[in-house]
Structure 1
Amino acid sequence: MASLSGRSAIVTGGLTGQGLAIAHELAKAGASVAVGSYVGEAAGRQGDAAAYPEPTEVSDVRDALNSYGSKVFAGHLDVRDTPAIKRFIADAEAHCGPADILVNAAGTTAEQPVSGHPDDLWLKIIDTNLNGAFRMTRELLPGMIARRWGRIVNIGSTAATVGWKDNPAYCASKSGLLGLTKCVALEGASHGVTSVMVSPTWVETELMRRNVAQVVARDGSGRTLEDAMADIAAQNPQQRLIQPTEIAALVAFLCSEAAKGITAENIQITGGALW
């Protein structure tokens, strides 16, 4: 494992799923880690499949990350709200120092065809997955450029390049995120700042389980959630689902000094499958 000792990282969506696995991997590598997520939104999600953590989970994550001996900050972060982002970054930097690493892992999705797609649901998905990453990057990129070192890793999806039925907002958001990744890479290239997107296929997380549950509810097949999960795994050439720890290991490498030449890339982790 490459050492990230002396580096400070911010991970959005860092209290659950892939973001949480990434936070653990960065902390294990020696980085100070600040994690934020939209905490406590359980009702009125309008079909939103995200697994928002409860407030009690924040302290649990903080305690777990503290076990690695790194500086840790964990708190509420709404990437749709610029003032909230500024407050979170100020608190994070007070605890962990100026951010050298940004991992944009906050995300959501919903099962909804284009026909009849509600505006508010479309805008929420785009605002979280794409605009949230833009806002975080806009706040942190100038400091990285000034210090002449930075790593920005955006958690994308194979949906960025392959459409998926009944997920237009999610696919559009990840396609936009790929464009943002490449533009940031060009802006930071001469200043020691890299920008990369990591795009997995299905990853076994609570968000995936909620999304698949929506699919099962829509198709009327009578399948159980576990049967549907097994069907998806069977479609993968490796006959399995990608694990969050696989994403985390790659992200930690991309944040290391050894990866300084890797930028403007979309790296897929698929087990051979697109979807």
Structure 2
Amino acid sequence: MFTLFDLTGKVALVTGGNGGIGLGMAQGLAKAGARVIVAARNAQKSAAAVEALKALGSDSFALEADVSDEVSVKKLFDEAAARCGRLDILVNNAGTTVRKPVDQLALDEWHKVMDTNLTSAFLCSRAAHPHLKAAGGGKIINIGSMMSIFGAAYAPAYAASKAGIVQLTKSTALSWAPDNIQVNAILPGWFETELTDGARSQVPGLYERVTARAAAGRWGQPADIAGTAVFLASAASDYVTGTAIPVDGGFSISG
């Protein structure tokens, strides 16, 4: 393997890594040699994800955590570091949405989306920092969205949280550059996952409109995001920090 992308000996923690693009990225990291920790709440899904990662040769395991809760996050990272002896890569991927316009969105729904998508990235990054620093540096990959760029009448909380991810990424990259920690964001476009199943059922014609607009002529599959994750997790991106990379099949550049 080209050594710039070799993650052998590295430990990666992926929040929401038991399905969708989270699992796609986890599998990419595992194929590159990383030991992957799956952090999620659904134990059954996590067990299946771990088996898939082990089949790729990764000494993976799962930890149950609520990444929007400060106490749970501290316990998660303490246990991960204790079991692995180090942490090199954090992927902040946990996410949810509520599809309602602003005037119909309840405050508790707003908080649920913001806490799951944005507050969790703050809490996990803060908890990971001493472990990454102790390892001599590391990588944080925050998962934004094309909604970091566009608005969405039916997803105001989701769009706001994902726009916040980009600014959190920039601020954290500046704060922790002296610690040799690179922080970047990936902005996924329309991927076929459980999260977008609801959008396809609730928004008539969405699948066809996305397919027509994307330069690639199709929706993304979880495996399509793996390469970007490996790049941002590896030595190949040591001089890349504070950026946000769309992975959307050309959707965001199409008129």
TM range (shorter): over 0.9
Give the deviation of 1:233 after TM superposition.
1.4
Deviations 1:33-88 (A, max 9, x none): 1011132xxxxxxxxxxxxxxx3222222222112333212132211111111222
Say yes or no: does 1:118 pair with 2:106: yes
1:197 matched to 2:185: yes
Q: Which ranges in structure 2 are unaligned for 5 or more consecutive residues?
A: none
Match of 1:248 among 219, 222, 226: 226
Q: What is the aligned residue count?
A: 250
Q: Secondary structure at the match of 1:154?
A: strand
Secondary structure of the residue aligned to 2:104 is coil
CA distances 1:80-103 after superposition (whole Å, capped 9, x unpaired): 111111222233223333211000
1:259 aligns with 2:237: yes
TM-score, normalisation: structure 1: 0.86
AA matched with 2:218: R
Question: What are the Cα deviations for residues 213-261 of structure 1, in whole angstroms up to 9, with x where unaligned?
Answer: 2334xxxxxxxxxx64234212323221122212111111111111100
Alpha-carbon separation, structure 2, partners of 1:69 and 1:235 = 38
Q: Which amino acid aligns with 2:201?
A: A
Q: Could you tell me how far apart the structure 2 residues matched to 1:78 and 1:89 are? A: 12
The residue type equivalent to 2:98 in the other structure is A
Q: CA deviation at 1:13?
A: 0.5
State yes or no: 1:103 paired with 2:106.
no
* Structure-to-structure mapping, 1:167-246, within 5 angstroms: 167-216=155-204, 228-246=206-224
| 22-31 or 235-244, larger mean C-alpha shift | 235-244
Give the equivalent residue in structure 2 for 1:145: 133
Give the fraction of aligned pairs with identical amino acids, expressed as a percent. Answer: 40
Query: Could you say which residue in structure 1 is the equivalent of 2:46?
Result: 58
Secondary structure of the residue aligned to 2:203 is: helix
Supply the AA of the counterpart residue of 1:233.
T
Partner of 2:11: 8
Assess, with a 3 A threshold, how the Cα gap between structure 1 residues 191 and 121 changes in structure 2: closer, same or farther: same
Q: What amino acid maps onto 1:240 in structure 2?
A: R
Structure 2 matches for 1:31-70, cutoff 5 A?
31-39=34-42, 55-70=43-58
Matched, 1:79 2:57: no
Q: Is the 8 A contact 1:129 1:173 kept in 2?
A: yes
Contact 1:7 1:100 in 2 (8 A): yes
Counterpart for residue 158 of structure 1? 146
Cα-to-partner distance string for 1:150-194 (whole Å, 9 max, x where unaligned) = 100001111112111111100100111111000110112122110
Q: Distance in 1 between matches of 2:247 and 2:143?
A: 11
Q: Which has the higher helix share?
A: 2
- Residue 176 of structure 2: SS of its match in structure 1? helix
How far apart are the structure 2 equivalents of 1:112 and 1:153? 28
* 3-state SS of paired residue (1:99): coil
TM-score (norm: length of structure 2): 0.92
Q: Is the 8 A contact 2:36 2:59 kept in 1?
A: yes
Q: CA deviation at 1:142?
A: 2.4
